Chain A
């Protein structure tokens, strides 16, 4: 790992550790936004700019605003930073919660360590054939999508051309969400 990657991962991990125990609600939301932005930069370093754009726009931007709105509409901002004594700036750590989170983190960390190194040519995810000898979908899209569709971004080719029905279903869900908000708020007249 380069120093930049180490610094980013440390940044995200420290943010994730501070997030659940801080008492300052607005501070927690800002911490969440900033650590999500750090995650977005990690996606860029992992050569996944499409995911990075979504992570930055949705995770860091829009979701943080949703949290702010939720906090304002429910409890208000809670205690702000200048009202909290420095010795009780953080919540006491609850041991059962810590045990539960640890029980989740151990298998996840184990699975993470079992992954192939980034960019390994023989990793299963980027191999051209299954052990049975058939061509993998990854290999098919990389080999064929430019010729079949005529444009180079294979991600968009998969989303719209090859798996278009999945995308259509995804958008029907988003459409249904917007329609149900209007119905819940009694604004069906807009449709």
Chain B
């Protein structure tokens, strides 16, 4: 960070990297389960409590957890930024395609009854799009805003 901020106290050492093996092992271990829970919330939101917003946030929180445990700079190197941007662009594109595809098929905007698939399956498709958008936006928010925490481009 080139600009001199009013730093009252430097954080101890590598501030955002946890040195505790407990934290690292725990976040490594829970990651697949939390991702699976996020997918479950997204796909089964039509019949059980949950939904795409919840599922997307839960999936995104895994990346935030990994970043807190292993540091934002390594996480940023590991993440493909183009894929991350593609994630929320794709989510918005699918939702937009469903919304205006209904018009092309002779219905109103977002009228899900005109599609050949059942309404439940159309809702699941929209839910996957919402989850991708929400997860992409939240991961992007953290990864890009934390950029510069180790002296890169400051936000």
Residues of A within 8 A of B (CB): 49-50, 53-54, 57-58, 61-62, 65-66, 68-69, 72-79, 148-153, 155-157, 159-161, 164-165, 167-168, 171-172, 174-175, 177-178, 181-182, 184-187, 190-191
Contact = CB atoms under 8 A, between A and B. Distances in A.
Interface of B: 5-11, 15-16, 41, 45-54, 57-58, 60-61, 64-65, 68, 81-82, 84-85, 88-89, 91-92, 95-96, 99, 109-110, 112, 118-120, 123, 126-127, 130, 133-134, 136-138, 140-142, 144-149, 153, 155
A106 B130 CA distance: 39
A176 B137 CA distance: 9
Given A171-B130, A178-B140, A181-B141, A62 B61 contact: yes
A155 B9 CA distance: 47
Contacts of A61: 57, 61, 64-65
A73 B146 CA distance: 8
Nearest to A79: B9
Q: Which of B46, B60, B96, B118 has the most CB of A within 10 A?
A: B46
Contacts, number: 158
Which 8 A-B pairs rank lowest in CB-CB distance, beginning with the nearest? A49-B49, A151-B46, A164-B110, A53-B54, A190-B85, A76-B9, A57-B57, A178-B137
B149 A76 contact: no
Nearest to A58: B57
A153 B51 contact: yes
Nearest to A69: B146
A177 B130 contact: no
Contacts of A155: 49, 51
A64 B45 CA distance: 26
Contacts of B60: 62
A178 B47 CA distance: 30
In terms of DSSP, what is the predominant structure of the interface of chain A?
A: helix
Given A58-B57, A65-B142, A161-B119, 10 more contacts: A54-B54, A57-B57, A149-B119, A160-B126, A161-B112, A168-B110, A175-B88, A181-B144, A190-B81, A190-B84
A181 B140 contact: yes
Given A65-B64, A181-B141, A152 B47 contact: yes
Q: Is the interface of B mostly helix, strand, loop or mixed?
A: helix
B123 A149 contact: yes
Contacts of A178: 88, 136-137, 140-141
Contacts of A165: 99, 109-110
Given A62-B64, A76-B8, A77-B11, A151 B47 contact: yes
Indicate the member of B47, B82, B123, B136 with the most A CB atoms within 10 Å: B123
Interface centre among B49, B65, B118, B136, by most chain A C-beta atoms within 10 angstroms, is B49
B66 to A, nearest CB: 11
Given A149-B120, A150-B118, A185-B147, A62 B138 contact: yes
B34 to A, nearest CB: 10
Quick one: which of A150, A151, A191 has the most chain B CB within 10 A?
Answer: A151
